């Protein structure tokens, strides 16, 4: 399916506190009147014509009611001749009654036709804006997404989408028709009655709108608190369900339920206040309108007693006022709904207005890879200015060679792979591929030539085939299965009841850690990039499978530039060069044998890992099943101390 046309992105924050209805409509107008869709423009014009016809029928309807009433009121004074009586009864009252019914039918049919014709325009606008927001979320940096909670983002998108639908529907289908109808009613009352009646209407409308404005402004803060508590409860629910196994491990069901209930209690309190305030608003509106209706009808009753008006005029003013109540009530509802919708979408617009941290420079060209030579030239980087991660790191990964980066936790190993993918911009220095600065090429072309097998693999909640094919979407089924075979997962897949159509579950949780890792390896094999990044690609595998995967990766990486981020040193002994990082700087470099001979940090890490492995093997020989020799020893790394003195998790430090 062809994605919706990209419209200009809103660049300013929309806030309900600033009465941004006109700004919101200005943002939405390109989606309501799309320059590239003549069919949608035609629908807007047809809907406008139907709107005018419906309002004409709306104004005529009370007059047919008046004429029918006057005709019936005059039956007692009609001629007593049989023919004259039949003519009077059937030609006047019945005809006017039928006309009244006919006008109501015309009014209802044209209104529904207008709504049906315009529905395509409204929902297309909703789709395009939702698409624009979804695309923009992917354009924002990794830093943005690490700072946000996924449940909160999806809730913002959902409420924003609903808010956009509300604004489009209310402004076009309610606000514009209401303004037209109010103007027509005032004109008719001035013509049929006099200025006093128009004055009553104007005062009633003014008081109604003033009350609605101040009451709605009061409700905005309540609505925002309700939204915040709703988002908080939703985030807690998603976070707990995603960590289902952890909750079970620590028997924390009651704690999680109480935590969720506290969030729902805040939502309950805010929601109760929202509904109570709505009742106060509606009561005030009803009092104001009823007072205006009574005043107008008393004026007509007085004129009927004086003989200047008929009973039909009494019915007419009642019908006109009741008719006025509907658009007037819509005016209050439209204002409330629009203000609430703006409150709902203000976060969505703030996300749309947030510029991507990582942008292609003007005139950026696609990366042209001839050999795949990667060079880090005096690279400096810090997630936060006060805590530098990399300090003048320089090294090369020659074309077709394998370079491994090792070091203690917090040394900056994983940061190197993120910078190569340009998830962040450098604080200093540059990274080049075949002499081309990656900051000067398009991000899309850069990431197309790099394959990644991460340490923590997250899969889409879809089939195994879908997840492997993600590496190269146009690949054939045969290519997908060959990649699975090279990743040593084809046999497991074929033993599953549904084979390649097996669902992997949320984040791939239906698969073991090793199976998930092999799916990730398979999709990278399928991608076939000239540059590979392996972030401890075999960390979740047992020793037997690790050897098979290592052999497969060596075959795949042959002739390709390969950067290995390693924690387990036994996996990189064959690397062409090993870079040892410590506290953001390169402290050692060389081959495995040369680094062992140097007896430095690398040799110290290697010895500790070998000692741990030998200890596990000794335990296995005396019958410790939990330390079986086919299991890999955990990496032994030097702890990095936080300013408080506690250890810093590897992910946080890197």
Which of 197-211, 336-350, 426-440, 622-636 comes out lowest in average pLDDT? 622-636
Residue 167 lies in a domain: yes
Helix/strand/coil percent split, the chain, to 5 = 65, 10, 25
Count of structural domains within the chain: 2
**Residue 484: enclosing H or E segment and its boundaries?**
helix 477-486
Give phi and psi for 105, each to the nearest 5.
-65, -45
Look at residue 309 in the predicted model and tell me its pLDDT: 79
The position carrying tokens 């698409």 is 131
Which of 29-38, 92-101, 149-158, 590-599 comes out lowest in average pLDDT? 149-158
What residues pair up with 374 in beta bridges, in sequence order?
A: 397, 433
**Predicted confidence band of residue 549 (pLDDT cuts 50, 70, 90):** low
Same domain, 182 and 212: yes
Model confidence at 74: pLDDT above 70: no
Q: How far apart are the C-alpha atoms of 56 and 187, rounded to whole Å? A: 13
Look at residue 635 in the predicted model and tell me its pLDDT: 44
Q: What angle do CA 552, 558, 561 make, to 5 degrees?
A: 115
What residues pair up with 589 in beta bridges, in sequence order?
A: 579
Using the CB atoms, write b or e for 398-428: b if 16+ within 10 Å. Answer: ebbbbbbbbbbbbbbbbbbbbbbbbbbebee
Nearest to 161 by CA among 293, 442, 434, 351: 351
Q: What percent of the chain has pLDDT over 70?
A: 81
Name 243's Cβ contacts closer than 8 Å, sequence gap at least 6: none
Look at residue 579 in the predicted model and tell me its pLDDT: 92
Give phi and psi for 398, each to the nearest 5.
-60, 155
**Predicted confidence band of residue 542 (pLDDT cuts 50, 70, 90):** low
Q: What percent of the chain has pLDDT over 90?
A: 7
Same domain, 333 and 379: no
Model confidence at 21: pLDDT above 70: no
Instruction: Name the domain boundary from 352, 387, 413.
Output: 352
Q: For residue range 577-609, list pLDDT tens digits in order.
A: 999 998 889 999 999 999 999 998 989 988 888
* Contact of 449 with 367, CB cutoff 8 Å: yes
Q: In what order do the strands lie in the sheet with 374-384?
A: 387-397, 374-384, 428-433, 436-437
Q: Burial, 469: exposed, middle or buried (Cβ in 10 Å; 0-12, 13-18, 19+)?
A: buried
Beta strands 577-582 and 585-590, pairing class? antiparallel
Same domain, 322 and 386: no
Structure tokens at 287: 């009092």
Look at residue 191 in the predicted model and tell me its pLDDT: 80
Same domain, 158 and 221: yes
Count other Cβ atoms within 10 Å, centred on residue 369: 20
**Predicted confidence band of residue 631 (pLDDT cuts 50, 70, 90):** very low
Model confidence at 385: pLDDT above 90: no
**Predicted confidence band of residue 270 (pLDDT cuts 50, 70, 90):** confident
Look at residue 417 in the predicted model and tell me its pLDDT: 86
Question: Over the chain, what is the mean pLDDT?
Answer: 77
Q: How far apart are the C-alpha atoms of 182 and 198, rounded to whole Å? A: 11
The CA distances from residue 30 to 5, 164, 174, 213, 630, in Å, are 11, 13, 20, 28, 63
Average of per-residue pLDDT across 41-66: 82
What residues pair up with 365 in beta bridges, in sequence order?
A: 441
Same domain, 404 and 340: no
Structure tokens at 618: 């000794």
**Predicted confidence band of residue 375 (pLDDT cuts 50, 70, 90):** very high
Nearest to 570 by CA among 412, 453, 451, 404: 404
Average of per-residue pLDDT across 6-11: 40
Give phi and psi for 610, each to the nearest 5.
-65, -40
Residue 106 lies in a domain: yes
Residue 515 lies in a domain: no
Look at residue 17 in the predicted model and tell me its pLDDT: 45
3-state SS class at 284? helix
Residue 644 lies in a domain: no
Same domain, 413 and 544: yes
The CA distances from residue 15 to 170, 221, 339, 340, 636, in Å, are 18, 12, 9, 11, 52
Question: What CATH code is carried by the domain that includes residue 576?
Answer: 3.40.50.300
Same domain, 259 and 406: no
Name 604's Cβ contacts closer than 8 Å, sequence gap at least 6: none
**Predicted confidence band of residue 146 (pLDDT cuts 50, 70, 90):** low
Look at residue 639 in the predicted model and tell me its pLDDT: 35
Same domain, 283 and 428: no
Please tell me which residue, 268 or 622, carries the higher pLDDT value: 268
Average of per-residue pLDDT across 392-413: 87
In eight-state DSSP terms, residue 78 is S
Same domain, 291 and 412: no
Q: For residue range 322-370, list pLDDT tens digits in order.
A: 877 777 776 666 776 777 777 777 777 777 777 777 788 888 899 988 8
**Residue 168: enclosing H or E segment and its boundaries?**
helix 150-170
Same domain, 338 and 399: no
Residue 231 lies in a domain: yes
Same domain, 378 and 343: no
Look at residue 552 in the predicted model and tell me its pLDDT: 67
Q: Burial, 84: exposed, middle or buried (Cβ in 10 Å; 0-12, 13-18, 19+)?
A: exposed
Question: What CATH code is carried by the domain that includes residue 241?
Answer: 1.20.1560.10
Crossing angle of helices 311-352 and 38-73, in 10° steps, is 160
Average of per-residue pLDDT across 55-59: 81
DSSP 313-368: HHHHHHHHHHHHHHHHHHHHHHHHHHHHHHHHHHHHHHHHTSPPSS-PPTT-B---
The CA distances from residue 81 to 92, 161, 317, in Å, are 16, 68, 34
Which range has the top average pLDDT, 38-52, 431-445, 560-574? Answer: 431-445
Residue 650 lies in a domain: no
What residues pair up with 579 in beta bridges, in sequence order?
A: 405, 589
* Contact of 372 with 564, CB cutoff 8 Å: no
Name 225's Cβ contacts closer than 8 Å, sequence gap at least 6: 270, 273
Q: What angle do CA 220, 225, 228 make, to 5 degrees?
A: 125
Look at residue 303 in the predicted model and tell me its pLDDT: 83
**Residue 626: enclosing H or E segment and its boundaries?**
none
Please tell me which residue, 78 or 527, carries the higher pLDDT value: 527
3-state SS class at 451? strand
Average of per-residue pLDDT across 550-571: 80
Residue 499 lies in a domain: no
Residue 512 lies in a domain: no
Nearest to 407 by CA among 636, 580, 596, 634: 580
Residue 209 is part of which domain span? 16-352
Give phi and psi for 430, each to the nearest 5.
-155, 160
Q: What angle do CA 611, 614, 618 make, to 5 degrees?
A: 135
Same domain, 293 and 337: yes
Q: What angle do CA 229, 154, 653 make, to 5 degrees?
A: 90
Instruction: Name the domain boundary from 352, 385, 402.
Output: 352
Model confidence at 573: pLDDT above 80: yes
Model confidence at 301: pLDDT above 70: yes
């Amino acid at each position: 399916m062809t994605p919706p046309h990209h419209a200009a992105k809103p660049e300013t924050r929309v806030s309900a506190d600033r009465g941004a209805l006109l700004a919101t409509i200005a943002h939405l107008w390109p989606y309501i009147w799309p320059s590239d869709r003549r069919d949608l423009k035609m629908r807007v014009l047809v809907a406008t014509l139907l709107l005018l016809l419906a309002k004409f029928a709306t104004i005529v309807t009370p007059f047919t009611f008046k004429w029918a009433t006057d005709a019936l009121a005059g039956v007692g004074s009609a001629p007593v001749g049989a023919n004259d009586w039949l003519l009077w009864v059937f030609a006047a009252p019945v005809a006017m009654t039928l006309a009244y019914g006919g006008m109501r039918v015309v009014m209802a049919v044209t209104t529904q036709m207008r709504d049906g014709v315009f529905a395509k325009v409204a929902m297309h606008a909703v789709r395009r804006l939702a698409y624009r927001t979804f695309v923009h979320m992917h354009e924002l940096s990794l830093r943005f997404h690490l700072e946000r909670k996924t449940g909160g983002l999806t809730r913002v998108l959902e409420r924003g989408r609903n808010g956009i639908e509300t604004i489009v529907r209310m402004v076009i289908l309610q606000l514009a028709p209401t303004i037209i109808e109010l103007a027509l009613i005032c004109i008719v009352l001035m013509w049929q009655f006099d200025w006093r009646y128009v004055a009553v209407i104007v005062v009633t409308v003014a008081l109604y709108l003033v009350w609605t404005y101040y009451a709605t402004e009061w409700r905005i803060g309540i609505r925002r608190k309700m939204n915040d508590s709703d988002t908080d409860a939703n985030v807690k629910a998603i976070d707990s369900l995603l960590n289902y196994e952890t909750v079970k491990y620590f028997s924390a069901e009651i704690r999680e339920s109480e935590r969720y209930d506290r969030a729902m209690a805040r939502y309950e309190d805010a929601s109760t206040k929202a509904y109570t305030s709505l009742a106060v608003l509606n009561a005030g509106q009803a009092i104001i309108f009823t007072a205006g209706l009574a005043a107008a009808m008393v004026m007509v009753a007085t004129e009927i007693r004086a003989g200047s008006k008929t009973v039909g005029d009494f019915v007419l003013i009642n019908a006109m006022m009741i008719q006025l109540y509907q658009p007037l009530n819509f005016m209050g509802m439209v204002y409330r709904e629009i203000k609430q919708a703006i409150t709902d979408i203000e976060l969505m617009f703030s996300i749309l207005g947030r510029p991507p941290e990582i942008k292609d420079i003007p005139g950026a060209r696609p990366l042209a890879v001839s050999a795949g030579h990667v060079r880090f030239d005096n690279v400096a980087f810090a997630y936060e200015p006060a805590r530098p991660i990399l300090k003048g790191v320089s090294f090369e990964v020659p074309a077709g060679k394998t370079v491994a980066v090792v070091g203690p936790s917090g040394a900056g190993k994983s940061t190197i792979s993120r910078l190569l993918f340009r998830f962040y911009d450098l604080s200093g220095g540059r990274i080049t591929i075949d002499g081309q600065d990656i900051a000067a090429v398009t991000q899309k072309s850069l990431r197309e030539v790099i394959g990644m097998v991460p340490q923590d693999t997250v899969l889409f909640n879809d089939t195994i085939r879908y997840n492997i094919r993600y590496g190269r979407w146009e690949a054939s089924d045969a290519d997908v299965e060959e990649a699975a075979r090279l990743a040593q997962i084809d046999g497991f897949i074929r033993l599953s009841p549904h084979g390649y159509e097996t669902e992997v579950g949320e984040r791939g949780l239906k698969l073991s850690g090793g199976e998930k890792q092999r799916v990730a390896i398979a999709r990278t094999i399928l991608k076939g990039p000239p540059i590979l990044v392996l972030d401890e690609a075999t960390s979740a595998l047992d020793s037997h499978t690790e050897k098979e995967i290592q052999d497969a990766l060596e075959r795949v990486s042959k002739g390709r530039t390969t950067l290995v981020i390693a924690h387990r040193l036994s996996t990189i002994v064959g690397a062409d060069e090993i870079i040892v990082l410590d506290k953001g700087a390169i402290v050692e470099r060389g081959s495995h044998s040369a680094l062992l001979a140097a007896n430095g940090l690398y040799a110290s890490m290697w010895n500790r890992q070998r000692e741990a492995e030998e200890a596990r093997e000794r335990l296995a020989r005396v019958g410790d099943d939990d330390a079986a020799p086919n299991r890999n020893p955990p990496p032994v790394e030097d702890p990095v101390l936080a300013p408080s003195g506690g250890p810093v998790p590897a992910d946080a430090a890197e």
